[in-house]
A and B are shown apart, each in its own frame.
Chain A
């Protein structure tokens, strides 16, 4: 069944888009991430213009993260103070990202920078997660306790000044790395059209040692706020949010997320992180492939006025 999208200006198969929503929703529910890093490239692949894809995915992620955040809220698994702290720097990151986005677009290098960012961030984060979870997996095989949260094992990050206590997460860390992480997430979100959950969750775990209990809920609150405001911003500035496309994606996404969450809860944390690591790494590889391999057509057309 074909339906014509009013903003993307193209017809799409409803079941294809619904299926994409379900699949990405399943993955997002399983790992507690928004899934923008999968959805944006998928939409571009089916022919939606990158600008509309980036703007519309933000709406989709707002829906799935709100649904997730509500569940975590009921279980009191959200650290509001930490989320707000991350958000304060995230806004500055987003503003910087939007500024750079416009500048790069003007000189036709946006695709390149998005490509390089995807490759470097995704492969780095993916490899790191694979490495960490394999190490943890080996430890459990040998019968040793999991080493994820070693009491008293502080990195140099914990020696920084401006220390703050986050009660819900039971951590006592400097505000500097919190702001740094918030900035990176806001920046990446604006440029790459992603919520940043797949970056945020590992960073919170590995750098700030936020316990697994609150990390996903907190990440979802941050994603919700940034993506909800991104929806409004994109709608006001560029008129690029396709409400019909977003609705189809959302419906698939929230249903898929429920099944994903159930599957995820039946798996061990290390195994889950290993799978996510592999997934993230593979998406990174795909982007690397695109940068290195000679494109089929060296020429491309861009409508002046959109991306």
Chain B
């Protein structure tokens, strides 16, 4: 039975239309596909609802399902540095560049990913922070390292401390056997740009279906105006800010004039 499921799963990935016997479909809906950063933004919870639909005439898989939702923010290049004591003071002696890694990464599942499927599958599908490909520049090469590489673990730890990386084995909840809800906080320092959401459905440790969605984090109102002006018209923006400073100074000297 398990072998049959696995075969179906492989088929589902490559030839799902030729093998309708075990095909499920995933439907996903976001609470908000455009997160707007206005002047009162202090972070937001991203809520996703989804449903598992068996094909016409089929039943839901008897053993129940597992879900892994990976939310990936816009890619950025970041450098992780390590301090060491040199002549009594703490100095950055070593650094490693993480090339085009997600600025936000959340791996959400209904139970810890290790319990969902085997290590090889997790590795291949990049499920979980340990298995997600974080490319580093090592000399002339760009590659990921072993998962317990000190720079890699430090990078994940620091990003997690800022609320930017997280792995939650209890963030996906089944409301009914076929309807689920997933939730992840987007912190106040969330990067702006396009976020991708990937949902993978597992049945008995084998991937049965997959779907993708996207959401956009953008600045609006005054925040958008200021941020755009600062980048697009640096000189005018700089001059305007300077005159604002002079004006403030001048008003203060007039208001508080004592002679």
Contacts and interface: CB of A to CB of B under 8 A. Distances in A.
Interface of A: 2-4, 6-7, 9-11, 59-60, 62-71, 74-75, 108-109, 111-112, 115-116, 228, 231-237, 239, 241-244, 246-247, 250-251, 254-255, 257-258, 291-295, 297-305
A254 B252 contact: yes
A299 B81 contact: yes
A239 B228 CA distance: 10
B225 to A, nearest CB: 8
A108 B83 CA distance: 11
Contacts of B188: 4, 10-11
B249 A302 contact: no
B126 interface: no
Interface string B98-122: 0000000000000000000000000
A109 B92 contact: yes
Given A231-B242, A300-B158, A239 B248 contact: no
Interface in B214-259: 219, 222-224, 226-227, 230-231, 234-235, 237-242, 244-246, 248-253, 256-257, 259
Given A62-B245, A236-B238, A250-B245, A2 B92 contact: no
B35 interface: no
B31 to A, nearest CB: 20
Given A235-B237, A243-B244, A109 B39 contact: no
Top 6 closest pairs, chain A to chain B, by CB: A235-B238, A66-B249, A254-B252, A299-B154, A67-B249, A232-B238
B157 to A, nearest CB: 8
Nearest to A67: B249
15 contacts: A6-B222, A11-B43, A59-B244, A63-B245, A63-B249, A64-B249, A228-B242, A236-B234, A243-B244, A291-B90, A292-B88, A292-B89, A297-B158, A298-B90, A303-B78
A109 B245 contact: no
A250 B219 CA distance: 24
Interface of B: 37-43, 76-85, 88-92, 95, 97, 151, 154-155, 157-159, 188-189, 191-192, 219, 222-224, 226-227, 230-231, 234-235, 237-242, 244-246, 248-253, 256-257, 259
A298 B252 CA distance: 44
Contacts of A4: 37-42, 188, 223
A211 to B, nearest CB: 21
A59 B42 contact: no
Given A11-B41, A294-B90, A250 B85 contact: no
B238 A109 contact: no
The residue in A7, A67, A247, A291 that gathers the most chain B C-beta atoms within 10 A of its C-beta is: A67
Contact of A258 (B78, B89, B95, B252): B252
Contacts of A67: 248-250, 252-253
Contacts of A298: 82-84, 90, 154
A48 B97 CA distance: 22
B155 A228 contact: no
Contact of A301 (B155, B189, B222, B253): B155
Contacts of A239: 230-231, 234, 237
A235 B83 contact: no
Contact of A304 (B78, B91, B154, B246): B78
B230 A235 contact: yes
Given A297-B158, A300-B80, A304-B78, A250 B189 contact: no
A272 to B, nearest CB: 19
The listed residue with most A CB atoms (<10 A of its CB), out of B77, B97, B223, B245, is B245
B92 A108 contact: yes
A9 B189 contact: yes
B226 A7 contact: yes
